[in-house]
Amino acid sequence: MEVEAAKMIGAGLATIALAGVGLGLGNIFGSYISGSLRNPAAAPKVFGNVLLAFALTEAVALFALVIAFLILFA
Amino acid sequence: MAEGHSPLAQFEIKRLVELNAGGLDVSFTNSSLFMVIAVAAITLFLTWSMRGRAMVPGRMQSMAELSYEFIANMLKENVGSEGRKYFPFIFSVFMFVLFCNLIGMIPYSFTVTSHIIVTFGLAALVFVTVTLVGIFRHGFKFLSFFVPSGVPAVLLVILIPIEIISYFVRPISLSVRLFANMLAGHTLMKVFGAFVIALSWWGGWLPLAFISALTGLEFLVAFLQAYVFAILSCLYLNDAVHLHH
């Protein structure tokens, strides 16, 4: 197999990680919505944690992106 | 297509003033220029908006006081009362990352934090500072941080190396998170900009609508990434100052 073709396949495989990230993000915001519907008064207090959790999970997606770039271009 | 139109061409480092220090290239580059612009903007924002020192703040003074209180509250919540002495450090890091991210949103400018060496420098600074704070405060007891309490001895053999590895991954994850967010955001905007031109008058409005929404998202990401950098630094500081997990 040519190196170029292998690089493309590798980069495509690296995006499988985004499945887990999608699950995680949906989980975070789903539980925030569910919790804030039960206890609307507490929703603004916990929103900071929601943003932190979102950024931390999004970071995993970007780690996968960096690996894909490394496979493609290095 | 003419050269220089790759979506990654916006991250190229250009030397503005060639300087040489004993064989090392210490030129003043476009990256250095925008770091200076960011620091000048922060200083101007904070000093000029506070020049009135009004008891009831106007708009600009409100914003400056808001940013101060934001970080002060973050430190108080996450580190406790001992966090006050680390306020200048966390505030400087937060404002620098925030202004570098925001100035990068200006068209034709350069995003300082889209280079891994810059974000790694900042993350390494935070990591080394936090580790030194922990060591100077607790001495050799700092190593008890890697031994979680209430764990049976059998598990400790495998848990301690895992704890040590995850501690040293912190600067890497901190830097790559900021770097990848900035890189991906700006590359995506450049790619869709090329689509707008390529599809010209009949199809260009669709990627244009997407790029408008994406620009809004990128402003949010600029704030969010600065906030996450700062709050993670506070959490790591809390770990070093109070040694329990």
Q: Confirm whether B169 is domain-assigned.
A: yes
> What is chain A's percent helix, strand, coil content, to nearest 5?
90, 0, 10
Cβ(B61)–Cβ(B54) below 8 Å: yes
β B20-21/B24-25 pair status: antiparallel
Banded model confidence at residue A46, pLDDT cuts 50, 70, 90:
very high
pLDDT in tens, B201-224: 888 889 999 999 999 999 999 999
Domain count, chain B: 1
**B10 vs B157: CA distance, rounded Å:** 48
Judged against a pLDDT cut of 70, whether residue A62 lies above it is answered with yes
Enclosing H/E stretch for B17: strand B15-17
Predicted structure pTM score: 0.89
Contact between chains at B224 and A55 (C-beta distance less than 8 A)? yes
Q: Which of residues 17 through 56 in chain A touch B, CB cutoff 8 A?
A: 48, 51-52, 54-56
Q: Confirm whether B33 is domain-assigned.
A: yes
Which residues in chain A touch residue B176, judged by CB atoms under 8 angstroms apart? 59, 62-63, 66
Which residues in chain B touch residue A63, judged by CB atoms under 8 angstroms apart? 173, 176, 180
Rounded to 5°, the CA angle B84-B121-B243 comes to 45
Q: Domain limits at B36?
A: 9-241
Q: Confirm whether B42 is domain-assigned.
A: yes
Question: Which ipTM score applies to this complex?
Answer: 0.78
Q: Delineate the domains of chain A, giving CATH numbers in brackets.
A: 3-73 (1.20.20.10)
Q: Confirm whether B1 is domain-assigned.
A: no
